[in-house]
Amino acid sequence: MTQGNIHGHLLKFSIPMLLGNMIQLSYNALDSIIVGRFVGKNALAAVGTSAPIMTIIVLSISGICIGASVLMSEFFGARAYDKLKRQMATILIFGAILSAFVLAFGLVFTPSFLQILQVPQTIMADASLYLRLMLIGFPFTFLYNALAQALRSVGDSKTPLYFVTFASLLNAVLDFVFVPIMGMGIFGAALSTVLAEALSALLCLIYVYWKIPILQVHRDEWRIDKDLLKETMNYGSVTALQQAAQPIGKLLIQGKMNALGVDVMAVFNAVSKIDDFAFTPEQSIASGVTVFVAQNRGAKQKDRLNKGFKSGLLLASIYWLLLCIFILCFRRPIMALFVSESQQNLINMGAQYLSLMVFFYLWPAFTNGLQGYFRGVGKMRLTLISTIMQISFRVIFVYLLVPHLGVSGVAFASTIGWTIMLVYQFYCYGKIQKELMQTL
């Protein structure tokens, strides 16, 4: 990414990553669609209640892996291949230790988490079962994310897409076999997801050891580099907190929604999944900006670094315009994917939310782009501070507006949070530009 057409590089890198992220999102969304249509709204609410907890865990490890990949991108840009390989060993060993801890802790305390969320007793058993099964797949999720980010750091965003696509197809087939055909309910939906996650991780591992010499860790190289681990955690821990802050905010919002009944819980679960799909392209472009900026920072190409960032914002804005047209035309059929067409009250509630929220999706196109830039230049703490600001105001206004506006209150509250975040980010961006003029 340090030479050649900037728009072309960003598109070529971001599109496979976007498709891969969309497919990963489809795992849990497909569970929601299948159980919502073939098991019922209580099952849909149970899956939706469990989802924010898993999202916090998954995005936390994703944040650590992104932090590691920023360093790997710099090492690759500077041609420091020995450091690149040591970083690979360090993050994989650390991930194995973290996975064991999270799995044991999560399995024991699942009921306590759900009670804190005020999950109704009518869906408590299903929610506990689904969450515990999803936790079993956590080690595979970490392995896939670490390997995928490593491949992306060296400019290969296509290979992770191939593996996660194959795994997603398996997940879809197993979902239909386990739930509608075999009648395994929520257990079947969770089992299909875990099996698919395991396959994508193992395929990625085999590929790295077969095709990518600079990422291969041999038997005598399996050790943690303490200096690299410290540097990784300086990047990764802040990024993990920033990544986890979003679903923590959603978890607090979920608690408010749970108090409004199963119908509202089901609608909120559905529109949250749609929001996730809508945001993912913007986040993928931002991840492309991170790698682009980090590699050009390593190569000390300041002008190209800034052009890449602005190109990312332009691409995200074009995407938002296309998204507006699509959702406004198909908001009701989209909602009908999650609930039966006989439940028109749920479809109406969700369609009303989407009609409003689609215009506000422009805000995260810019906030995500700036977050990607901050990560690329190593300013991880700014991403955390700005995210916490956004989440804090979002949660406060959800509790103020939802009692009066229902689910639509979430859209207004989100926009208030994004606006405050964006003002802070532009202020920080101006300061960083002055720093880069002196250091690069």
Q: 359: exposed, middle or buried (C-beta count within 10 Å: 0-12, 13-18, 19+)?
A: middle
Higher pLDDT, residue 8 or 112: 112
Q: How far apart are CA 10 and CA 20, in angstroms?
A: 15
Examine the pLDDT at 2 and tell me if it is beyond 60. no
Please report the pLDDT score of residue 242 as a whole number: 67
Q: Give mean pLDDT, residues 43-50.
A: 77
Please report the pLDDT score of residue 437 as a whole number: 66
Examine the pLDDT at 320 and tell me if it is beyond 80. yes
Please report the pLDDT score of residue 434 as a whole number: 79
User: 48-64 in b/e burial notation, b at 16+ Cβ within 10 A?
Assistant: bbbbbbbbbbbbbbbbb
Could you give the 3-state DSSP secondary structure of residue 30? helix
How many other β-carbons are positioned within 10 Å of the β-carbon of residue 3?
Answer: 10
Q: How far apart are CA 383 and CA 109, in angstroms?
A: 30
Q: How far apart are CA 283 and CA 388, in angstroms?
A: 17
Q: Give mean pLDDT, residues 196-201.
A: 88
Confidence of residue 45 (pLDDT cuts 50, 70, 90): confident
Examine the pLDDT at 257 and tell me if it is beyond 70. yes
pLDDT tens digit string along 62-101?
A: 778 877 887 888 788 777 778 888 888 888 898 889 888 8
Cβ–Cβ under 8 Å, residues 81 and 163: no
CA angle 337, 321, 257 (to 5 degrees): 45
How many other β-carbons are positioned within 10 Å of the β-carbon of residue 287?
Answer: 26
Q: How far apart are CA 154 and CA 161, in angstroms?
A: 15
- Cβ contacts of residue 354 below 8 Å, gap of 6+? 271, 274, 327, 331, 334, 335
pLDDT tens digit string along 123-169?
A: 888 888 888 888 898 899 889 888 988 888 887 878 888 887 888 88
How many other β-carbons are positioned within 10 Å of the β-carbon of residue 171?
Answer: 26
Cβ–Cβ under 8 Å, residues 385 and 424: yes
pLDDT tens digit string along 13-35?
A: 777 767 777 776 666 677 777 87
Q: Is the dihedral of CA 131, 108, 52, 120 positive or negative?
A: positive
What is the average pLDDT score of the chain? 83
Q: How far apart are CA 56 and CA 62, in angstroms?
A: 10
Query: In the chain, pLDDT over 90 holds for what percent of residues?
Result: 12
CA angle 253, 284, 333 (to 5 degrees): 60
Cβ–Cβ under 8 Å, residues 156 and 213: no
pLDDT tens digit string along 281-307?
A: 888 888 888 888 887 777 777 778 888
pLDDT tens digit string along 383-421?
A: 889 988 998 998 899 889 888 887 788 889 989 999 999
The two three-digit tokens of residue 95, written as one number: 């991930």
Of the candidates 324, 334, 326, 333, the residue with the CA atom closest to the CA atom of residue 356: 324
Please report the pLDDT score of residue 415 as a whole number: 92
- Cβ contacts of residue 57 below 8 Å, gap of 6+? 102, 106, 135, 138
Please report the pLDDT score of residue 426 as a whole number: 93
Examine the pLDDT at 12 and tell me if it is beyond 80. no
Q: Give mean pLDDT, residues 4-9.
A: 70
Of the candidates 381, 141, 377, 87, the residue with the CA atom closest to the CA atom of residue 239: 381
Query: In the chain, pLDDT over 70 holds for what percent of residues?
Result: 93
Q: Give mean pLDDT, residues 175-196.
A: 87
CA angle 247, 111, 395 (to 5 degrees): 25
Q: How far apart are CA 87 and CA 107, in angstroms?
A: 30
How many other β-carbons are positioned within 10 Å of the β-carbon of residue 261?
Answer: 11
Examine the pLDDT at 265 and tell me if it is beyond 80. no
DSSP 134-167: HHHTHHHHHHHHHHHHHHHHTT--HHHHHHHHHH
Confidence of residue 278 (pLDDT cuts 50, 70, 90): confident
Q: How far apart are CA 192 and CA 380, in angstroms?
A: 35
Confidence of residue 1 (pLDDT cuts 50, 70, 90): low
Of the candidates 240, 245, 236, the residue with the CA atom closest to the CA atom of residue 386: 245
Please report the pLDDT score of residue 423 as a whole number: 95
How many other β-carbons are positioned within 10 Å of the β-carbon of residue 332?
Answer: 15
Q: How far apart are CA 209 and CA 88, in angstroms?
A: 12
**pTM of the predicted model as reported, rounded to 2 decimal places:** 0.68
Angle between helices 41-77 and 362-376 (to 10 degrees): 40
Phi, psi of 96 (to 5 degrees): -65, -40
Q: Token match 């598109």: residue?
A: 11
Q: How far apart are CA 249 and CA 340, in angstroms?
A: 29
| Winning range, highest mean pLDDT, from 129-138, 225-234, 340-349, 430-439 | 129-138
Please report the pLDDT score of residue 366 as a whole number: 94
